[in-house]
Chains A and B, each alone.
Chain A
């Protein structure tokens, strides 16, 4: 039994199932992160005092991390282009680079966490530190998921490219959508939690 339009575009809607499903998932993610950003806004606007954020968190490391994540976004877009062009070796290298940059992001993030914990900061310290830990940890979980998927797609997942290339391309495109979304969320977090 074959599900229609898994990888081929349905003419009257103009999308594949894969792409529509990913867009819907991202819409839901917008609401999840949106609720946390709104909570941040409400708690901060209602607070008597709010700490100077940039003096608590490590802006320097986070700037490096932002650059790492943006580089990985560029890499995954180049990987999609390479796969579309049929250049499998190039795709594989770029996708592996994306996953590696994701791991570097997580490593830098854990250095950040270690520094903050060593300074005695805990989620219970105050609401800013609490939100910082909860929101960045939730984001880090999303990055971890993305790294696993990207790693799969340039490793064992590539088998599909041999017997069902259009569907594999659809998967890679969906992974790229997700990865870029996670990047955008990080940039928002960087602005809100580190700079504002």
Chain B
């Protein structure tokens, strides 16, 4: 019983554990945003309904205090990035699908896989516990810049410990993923026959493996600064609250920023690459065509992975690190936009001439393209040092990265959930509820995020807890803040049909046959639906053809599974 459902070694159960946990964190992270959007729309007014449960220390009379607002924003970022989106896209989708798609009986190291999940859960709980310690949750932003973070309340120490555990979990997961993909591919599944999703997961795993440890090192150093009184990030001559800080000094706050962004820029690609993989699968399947330029997409994603290690300081143009370094990093940043555009273009061209099936997964996948497009293109002015200077730390930046991650990655994850739900449960999700979920989410997401770009171009700073009301330049735009908040609350309501759909379809969903989407990849073509409890396949399939043999001229069906011997 414990072995089967709790301390399971089966990649499918671990994948589902990851999925449920990270979806809970997604909901928690989103709820924090729902609360602080009230403060941005109606600064200084008590939060209705839930205000009295926020605690007298945080929100006396239901009015959110500035310190509590900072906690909400810092934890919204931390939870969404490290506890929701990465574990969902890598831990859940990767774990569940990689062995099925490459024809393996399980991940290469099942025990390590289990350890990865439990370390992740421990890290997540440490993060959540920080809300209840003295001084509340971390309030120095998800980037935890020192010296602010070194002076911050006890919650920041929890943040560092939680982050340490999450990075250990990511290390276990990525070692496992890479070894599985390299070693356990079915006979005949050569590199260029791999589904694009697998390539995306492979590159992502390398980013997790190599980019996360520097933040672990940085977290150890910041932990020492906070607990042992060292000065790694504390410069000499520092004053805090009018008092000279009694420390040895001689540290460098920029060192933290370099170490943090050395993680956090590849992290951006950790967020987006699995999403691209999911979208690729769904587009190929629902256009009934091979992906356009599959090989080029693979080369592009590998190049993207390499380049993502050489762009981090474009987050630091305003730190005064010098024009030469800025010029270098703005050049690499312009270079890295090329492979992203290649992948997006290839996905777009894949639509051309296809007889497209508009089902819920396809709707989300199609919406990913323009949404990620806006997110990516709005990033170009931020990658150039000159235009970054006026835009930096405005709402424009917030709009940019939310467009990439929220209607970009999260839409792709929704698409993946609708697409692989029958694989997991043997039943289809309800289409009508899916369309409501999609339409509502699409409108509301844009309702929240597009005004951010406008506010930012008008010069509204992103870190104002009153939505900018004390600045004359922001006052005429305040009605946008109100509108954005209503969109956020509507977005919350539009998630209800989805939550209902996930649970109700377990019982009431239409029963799916083995290959309900008529797909070619191994998880549908060779494995039973829902999959076997152990071992995935009755016999390990052999692979004879590329991943997307749709509408092959002369074939009996419009799809030829990868393990099919006859055309």
Cβ 8 A contact of B231, one of A17, A130, A134: A130
Least Cβ distance of B389 to chain A in Å? 24
Q: For window 114-164 of chain A, which residues contact chain B by CB distance below 8 Å?
A: 122-127, 130-131, 133-134, 138
Chain B 105-116: CB-based contact to A (< 8 A → 1; otherwise 0): 110111010000
Interface residues on A, range: 35 or more
Q: What chain A residues lie within 8 Å of B252 (beta carbons)?
A: 42-43, 46
In the complex, number of A-B residue pairs with CB atoms less than 8 Å apart? 132
Chain B 146-184: CB-based contact to A (< 8 A → 1; otherwise 0): 000000000000000000000000010011101100111
A contacts, CB < 8 Å to B: 1-6, 10, 13, 15-17, 20-21, 24-25, 27-29, 31-36, 39, 42-43, 46-48, 122-127, 130-131, 133-134, 138
**How many B residues, CB 8 Å from partner?**
45
Least Cβ distance of A68 to chain B in Å? 25
Supposing A43-B251, A124-B230 touch, asked if A20 and B179 sit within 8 A by C-beta, the answer is yes
Least Cβ distance of A6 to chain B in Å? 8
- Interchain CB contact under 8 A, B209 and A13: no
Cβ 8 A contact of B184, one of A1, A4, A21, A134: A4
B contacts, CB < 8 Å to A: 104-106, 108-110, 112, 171, 174-176, 178-179, 182-184, 209-214, 216-218, 220-221, 224, 228-232, 236, 247-248, 250-252, 255, 258-259, 262, 534-535
- Interchain CB contact under 8 A, A125 and B248: yes
Interface of B is mostly: helix
Supposing A27-B209, A127-B250, A130-B224 touch, asked if A32 and B217 sit within 8 A by C-beta, the answer is yes
Which 10 residue pairs are nearest across A and B when measured between Cβ atoms? A35-B217, A124-B229, A35-B214, A130-B230, A32-B213, A31-B213, A123-B228, A1-B535, A17-B108, A24-B175
Least Cβ distance of A132 to chain B in Å? 11
Least Cβ distance of B373 to chain A in Å? 32
Q: What chain A residues lie within 8 Å of B178 (beta carbons)?
A: 20, 24
- Interchain CB contact under 8 A, B214 and A48: no
- Interchain CB contact under 8 A, A17 and B232: no
- Interchain CB contact under 8 A, B108 and A127: no
Q: What chain A residues lie within 8 Å of B220 (beta carbons)?
A: 36, 134, 138
Closest B residue to A48 by CB, please name it: B250
Least Cβ distance of A49 to chain B in Å? 8
- Bound-state Cα–Cα, A35 to B260, Å: 11
Supposing A15-B183, A39-B221, A134-B220 touch, asked if A21 and B175 sit within 8 A by C-beta, the answer is yes
- Interchain CB contact under 8 A, A3 and B210: no
